[in-house]
Amino acid sequence: MDMTGKTVLITGASSGIGEAAARAFGEAGASVALLARRNDEIARIAGDIGPDRALAIPCDVSRYWEVEAAVDATLGNFGSLDVVINNAGVIEPISHLAHADPQAWSQAIDVNLKGVFHGMRAAMPAMIRQGGGTILTVSSGAAHGPVEAWSAYCASKAGAAMLTRCADKEGREAGIRAMGLSPGTVATQMQREIKASGINPVSQLEWTDHIPPEWPARALLWMCGPEAGDFVGEEISLRDPNIRQRIGLA
């Protein structure tokens, strides 16, 4: 898919799905703004993509003013903002409700839920002014069912899934294409943290049970094209073999 002339902003771009997505969109010709707290990592990835088409922006998505500044920097550098990928997320605290650390629980909400709101809030005005844009949010099966010791993750992902539906309801007529992607379990650092916890069935999975991050990256790229038009306002699951076939994944 050709993304030449398009600008894509990706949160949580320093590793995992975010890094894979940045590289996939870069290979497709897009200009890419990489947001993450780890400046060294996003600078390295931006260098690989090319300094003329990649911008590394240190950003904590839990702070709205930092996300707003990142959007302004992206617009100032590339002149437009066509795609936002809300990918930044944390799994910790993995803890039963009765013993959860309130501060850590709140921080997960700040990143996983408020971070998605911040991305939408900062980007939508510019997208509406230019006639439209695509907002993709990395969701999870945990958004739709409880998982032991994942109360913060489940609650935040459920809220983020509803934000996608709200963005669609309010923005579709203005040209906003809002969708969610539920990738299933992916071979990233998050799965190492889950494995180390030893809690719930997900932690018992083997590394080979997880899909590579390049798969959701390819799915996100596909979702920017016309073939994904049927799913605007909805959530796509990579567990669905029909979806995988449409995207061209093995």
- In a structure prediction context, what are the per-residue pLDDT tens digits for the chain, which is 250 residues long? 899 999 999 999 999 999 999 999 999 999 999 999 988 999 999 999 998 999 999 999 999 999 999 999 999 999 999 999 999 999 999 999 999 999 999 999 999 999 999 999 999 999 999 999 999 999 999 999 999 999 999 999 999 999 999 999 999 999 999 999 999 989 888 989 999 999 999 998 888 889 899 999 999 999 999 999 999 999 999 999 999 999 998 7
141 closest CA partner among 108, 97, 186: 186
Confidence at residue 214, expressed as pLDDT on a 0 to 100 scale:
95
DSSP tally for the chain: helices H, then strands E: 9, 7
194 closest CA partner among 85, 53, 90, 105: 90
- Pairing state between β 7-11 and 54-58: unpaired
Using a 10 angstrom Cβ sphere, with 0-12 exposed, 13-18 middle and 19 or more buried, the burial of residue 52 is exposed
- CA-to-CA dists, residue 237 to 20, 63, 117, angstroms: 18, 29, 21
User: For residue 32, what are its two tokens?
Assistant: 């890419």
Q: Which CATH class is domain 7-185+215-247?
A: alpha beta
Can you name the residues that pair with 8 across neighbouring β-strands? 32, 83
- Burial state string for 86-122 with b = 16 or more CB within 10 A and e = fewer than 16: bbbbbbbbbbeeeebeeeebebbbbbbbbbbbbbbbb
Confidence at residue 73, expressed as pLDDT on a 0 to 100 scale:
97
Confidence at residue 17, expressed as pLDDT on a 0 to 100 scale:
96
Confidence at residue 25, expressed as pLDDT on a 0 to 100 scale:
97
Q: Tell me whether residue 64 is one of the annotated catalytic residues.
A: no
CA distance 137 to 214: 16
* CA angle (33, 38, 44) in 5-degree steps: 60
Confidence at residue 27, expressed as pLDDT on a 0 to 100 scale:
95
Ramachandran category for residue 50: left, alpha or beta (phi over 0 → left; psi -120 to 50 → alpha): left
What type of residue sits at position 234? E
User: Does the predicted TM-score (pTM) go above 0.85?
Assistant: yes
- Distance, first Cα to last Cα, the chain: 18
Domain ranges of the chain: 7-185+215-247
What type of residue sits at position 93? P
Q: Which of 105, 117, 153, 222 is labelled catalytic? A: 153
Confidence at residue 1, expressed as pLDDT on a 0 to 100 scale:
82
Q: Helices 214-223 and 16-27 sit at what angle, rounded to 10 degrees? A: 50
* CA angle (190, 39, 62) in 5-degree steps: 60
Confidence at residue 187, expressed as pLDDT on a 0 to 100 scale:
87
